Amino acid sequence: MSPVQKKIPLQVDSLWTNVHLATMTETGPYGMVKDGALAIGGDKIAWIGKRIDLPGDLESRVDKVYDGQNGWITPGLVDCHTHLVYAGSRAREFELRLQGATYEEIARQGGGIRSTVSETRQADEESLLAQSAPRLQALMQEGVTTVEIKSGYGLDLETELRMLRVARHLGERFPVTIVPTYLGAHALPPEYEGQSDQYIDFVCNKVMPQVAAQKLAVCVDAFCESIGFTPEQTERVFETAKKLGLKVKLHAEQLSDLQGAELAARYGAVSAEHLEYVSEEGIKAMAASGTVAVLLPGAFYFLRETRVPPIDLLQRYRVPIALATDCNPGISPTTSLLLMLNMACTLFRMTPEEALAGVTRNGARALGLRQKIGTLEPGKDADFVVWDIADPAELAYRIGFNPLQQVVRHGELLTQ
């Protein structure tokens, strides 16, 4: 913890006591404060520290004092990589894969992402919203207060803009912060078969300017892969994104090493994602540019991958590691970020503390939001979760169990 904050905050509306705090600042395990207190002023954290250090008469002069019942408070969870807006399901493809077909084979035969594209194109805005909302709500029920949502299942102008509008509406309808990402370079749509360069022209010249003009996305992402787009094509997407003032991220090194991590780093990407096949050179480049590694254990598990992302190397070069659900119908049909914590520990050998940092501090960083969210510190958004647990490691330890007690977002206690 930083030095005791003695100054009495000007505005304090409510106070949480009888709680322990996993502040997730980088000061010791979990940035832990036993017997803590947290004061809210407006939508921000006004004061945080040990209860005995609470300034002056603060406890007696606030309107609302909440009893955390000896539980733990963590920052609101951040799911920094999802594709949760889509129509339909890919359960049939799951069955095919269980009979031996690979993800790449299915994709090459026009299934996979393309089948979700065709269902998403047919869904109107209302239907897309109705199909996507339960996925978002499931994430929120586990304490997620910030969610990135990628487009990329429309691929034509109209459907991509529709997906991004749905993402925006979700953020208006529910008490959650949505960070929308334009992922036009996700797959080649059937109408551009054999013309991937022309499709990238379309992405850069027709769609991205509209996305930027309508402020429908904060970031731009691409799938740089043998079954996706080449590094050169990815570069063109990034050039345009930069000109339009959009942040960049990249699906890199999921199935092979195309040096996407180096490319992402060259463009100052906030994150590079998946990374099972990333090389030491790629990791060095990410470290130099401050690019966050977003690991997706749900996709690793669901595709029964065996190549574990190089956690040791990422740690050696101090690349921050974030974790996310990758919620999507093809390779990670999950809406449980808590399950991802357990999978990161069992499959990737991360510690429960590293896993929790992955969905708080580092998740925030992967969205370029580290100044606002991701840790419990004065001045940051009052987005936090009260858990009925005796030890923060329980969040990663249990499987299929949700100890959530309460969620506060922007200073408001949400009704469960």
The footprint of ligand DI6 (CB under 6 A) covers 83, 112-113, 116, 186, 223, 251, 299, 326, 328-331
Q: Whose Cβ is closer to ligand DI6: residue 27's or residue 226's? A: 226
Nearer to ligand DI6, 217 or 299 (CB): 299
Which of Fe ion, ligand DI6, none does residue 241 bind (CB under 5 to 8 Å by kind)? none
- The C-alpha atoms of residue 62 and residue 242 are separated, in whole angstroms, by 46
CB of 398 to ligand DI6, least distance (A): 26
Q: Smallest gap, in angstroms, from Cβ of residue 116 to Fe ion?
A: 12
Q: Which two tokens stand for residue 50?
A: 């040990």
In 225-354, at which residue ranges do the beta strands (DSSP E only) sit? 247-252, 271-274, 292-295, 321-323
Nearer to ligand DI6, 40 or 295 (CB): 295
Q: Which is nearer to ligand DI6, 328 or 360 (CB)?
A: 328
Cα dihedral 71/354/146/81 (nearest 10): -150
Q: Is 142 in the site for Fe ion (CB under 5 A)?
A: no
234 residue type, one letter: T
Binding flag, residue 326, Fe ion (CB under 5 A): yes
**Are the C-beta atoms of 62 and 13 separated by less than 8 Å?**
yes
What is the smallest separation between the CB atom of 108 and ligand DI6, expressed in angstroms?
A: 13
Q: Are 220 and 249 in contact (CB under 8 A)?
A: yes
Q: What per-residue string of b and e applies to 98-130 under the rule 16 or more CB within 10 Å gives b?
A: eeeeebeebbeeebbbbbbbebbbebeeeebbe
Nearer of residues 222 and 396 to Fe ion, judged by Cβ: 222
Q: Which is nearer to ligand DI6, 142 or 326 (CB)?
A: 326
Q: Are 295 and 254 in contact (CB under 8 A)?
A: no
Q: How far is the CB of 227 from ligand DI6 (least distance, A)?
A: 9
Question: Considering the complex, what minimum distance in angstroms separates the CB of residue 186 from ligand DI6?
Answer: 6
Q: Minimum Å distance from CB 230 to ligand DI6?
A: 14
CB of 57 to ligand DI6, least distance (A): 52
Rg (CA), the chain: 21
Q: For ligand DI6, which residue has the nearest CB? A: 330
Q: Which is nearer to Fe ion, 259 or 328 (CB)?
A: 328
d(CA 203, CA 224): 15
Select the binding partner of residue 112 from Fe ion, ligand DI6, none (C-beta < 5 to 8 A, by kind): ligand DI6
The tokens for 295 are 């690991």
Helix 125-140 and helix 157-173: axis angle, to 10°? 50
Cβ closest to ligand DI6, residue 45 vs residue 183: 183
- In our burial notation (b when 16+ CB lie closer than 10 A, e otherwise), range 27-48 reads eeebbbbeebbbbbbeebbbbb
The answer to whether 348 touches 297, Cβ cutoff 8 Å, is yes
Residue 330, binding choice from ligand DI6, Fe ion, none, Cβ under 5 to 8 Å by partner class: ligand DI6
**CB 414, min distance to ligand DI6, A:** 29
Please tell me the count of residues contacting Fe ion according to CB under 5 A. 1
- The one of Fe ion, ligand DI6, none whose footprint includes residue 113, by CB under 5 to 8 A per kind, is ligand DI6
Token couple for 112: 């996979």
Contact 187, 224 (CB under 8 A): no
Q: Which is nearer to Fe ion, 326 or 353 (CB)?
A: 326
* Residue 174 CB neighbour total at 10 angstroms: 17
From the CB of 329, what's the least distance to ligand DI6, in Å? 5
Would you give the binding string for Fe ion spanning residues 283-322, x where CB under 5 A is met? ----------------------------------------
Applying CB under 5 A, the residues found at the interface with Fe ion are 326
